[in-house]
Amino acid sequence: MGEPGAWGEVTAGLKVSRPVLVARLLELEAAGALTTAHVRAGAQVGGVNVRTVWRWLEAARTEGRVEHRPRARLELSDQAWEVLAQAGGNVAALHRHLKAAGGDVPSLASLHRAVRRDLEAGRVLPDRAVVRREREEQQTRQALADLALAGPSEGGAAKVAALRLPPSEPGAVAGSSAGESGAVAGVALPAGARLVRTSSVRAVGEAVGQAMATQGAVCLFGDPGRGKTAAVRMALSEVPPGWKVTWVPVPVRPSVVGMRRAVFDALALAGRFPHTSALADAAVAEALSEARVLVVDEAQRLPVPCLEYLQSLWDHPDTRIT
How many residues comprise the chain?
A: 322
Backbone φ, ψ for residue 297 (5° rounding): -85, 150
Contact by Cβ (8 Å): 263, 248: yes
55-76 tens-digit pLDDT: 888 888 888 877 776 666 778 8
100-138 tens-digit pLDDT: 888 788 888 888 888 888 888 887 776 767 767 777 776
Contact by Cβ (8 Å): 81, 125: yes
Compute CA distances 123 → 126, 147, 211, 242, whole Å. Answer: 9, 37, 38, 52
Nearest CA to 224 out of 160, 163, 298 is that of 298
Segment 2-31 mean pLDDT: 70
Lowest-confidence region among 73-82, 183-192, 268-277:
183-192
Residue 69 C-beta-side C-alpha neighbours within 13 Å:
7
The pTM is what?
0.42
Q: Percentage of residues in the chain with pLDDT exceeding 90?
A: 1
**What pLDDT is stored for residue 145 in this prediction?**
55
